[in-house]
Amino acid sequence: MRFVIATVLAFAALRSTVRAQAPAAGAPTPDVGYAEVVAQSAFGNVTSQSFGGEIGYALRPGFEVFVDAGYVRDASPASLGTAAQALASGLTTIVGPTTYQVKEPVTFGVAGLKYIFPLNNSRIGPYVSAGGGVARAKKDVSFSTPSGDISQFATLGTDLSGTETAGMLSLGVGVGLSLSHALIVDLQYRYGRVFTSDGLNINRAGVGFGVRF
C-alpha cells in the first residue's frame, strides 16, 4: 500500500514538473494516464475490506489500458467454513467445546482494457472494464477451546490450510469524476472470479483517489 501511495505522489510530482517545463506559448501537455489509490468494501460469502491501487494509460480517446493490484482481507467461500465446522465438531468430542475462526485473504494483480463512454460533460466519465491476471489465496483457519488456541495440535488438510495461486478474471463498471485538471475521484464496482480449487467470487465496491499525468 505504501508503494502505491508513493507511486501516485511520484506521478503527481512528475506531472507538475513536465507542465512547468512546457513552453508558455505552446499547446498544453495532454493527459495520457492516471494513478490512484483505492479503498473498497469486499463482499460475497463474507464481507471485508480491500485496498490497492490502479495505474492506467490512454491508448486513444475513450480507451485505456490499466493495471489493478490489491489485497482483500477475507474472501473465504462457504465451503471453508463448512469444513472448519466439521472439524470443530470432531474436536469437541475429544477436547471439549471448540470454536473456530476462518479467513482467506487474497492478493491479486490484473491488467486489462477500459472503455470510457463519451459525454458532453468532460468532467464525468462512465466506463466499463475487463481484464485478467493472477491471485494468491491463503486459507487461515484456527481452533480454540476455553483453555486457549489448539490449532497447532490439529492436523489440517488442504481443505483448511495452504496457499493457492490461480488465474483471475475481473469485470468492472464505474464513473470517473474530475475534481480539477489533475485530481480525480473514481466511483467503482469490480467483480472478480479467482479460479482456485474452491472458486472464489469477489465483489468490490468503493472509491479511488488519484491524479492524471
List 132's β-bridge partners, or say none.
111, 169
Q: Which of 95-104, 145-154, 204-213 has the lowest mean pLDDT?
A: 145-154
For domain 2-212, the CATH class is mainly beta
Quick: pLDDT tens for 49-78: 999 999 999 999 999 999 999 999 999 999
Question: Measured on CA atoms in the order 71, 72, 74, 76, is the torsion positive or negative?
Answer: negative
- pLDDT of residue 206 exceeding 70, the answer is yes
Q: What is the pLDDT of residue 20?
A: 47
Quick: pLDDT tens for 76-122: 999 999 988 888 888 888 878 988 899 999 999 999 999 999 988 77
- pLDDT of residue 11 exceeding 50, the answer is no
Neighbours of 27 (CB within 10 A): 7
Q: What is the pLDDT of residue 14?
A: 46
Q: Which position has the higher pLDDT, 155 or 185?
A: 185
Q: What is the pLDDT of residue 147?
A: 77
Tell me the pTM.
0.80
- pLDDT of residue 139 exceeding 60, the answer is yes
Quick: pLDDT tens for 15-55: 444 444 444 444 444 568 999 999 999 998 899 999 999 99
Q: What is the pLDDT of residue 75?
A: 96
Residue whose C-alpha is closest to residue 73's, from 52, 56, 91: 52
Q: Which of 82-86, 175-179, 206-210 has the lowest mean pLDDT?
A: 82-86
- Mind spelling out the 3-state secondary structure of the chain? CHHHHHHHHHHHHHHHHHHHHCCCCCCCCCCCEEEEEEEEEEECCCEEEEEEEEEEEEEECCEEEEEEEEEECCCCCHHHHHHHHHHHHHHHHHHCCCEEEEECCEEEEEEEEEEECCCCCCCEEEEEEEEEEEEEEEEEEEEEECCEECHHHCCCCCCCCEEEEEEEEEEEEEEEEECCCCEEEEEEEEEEEECCCCCEEEEEEEEEEEEEC
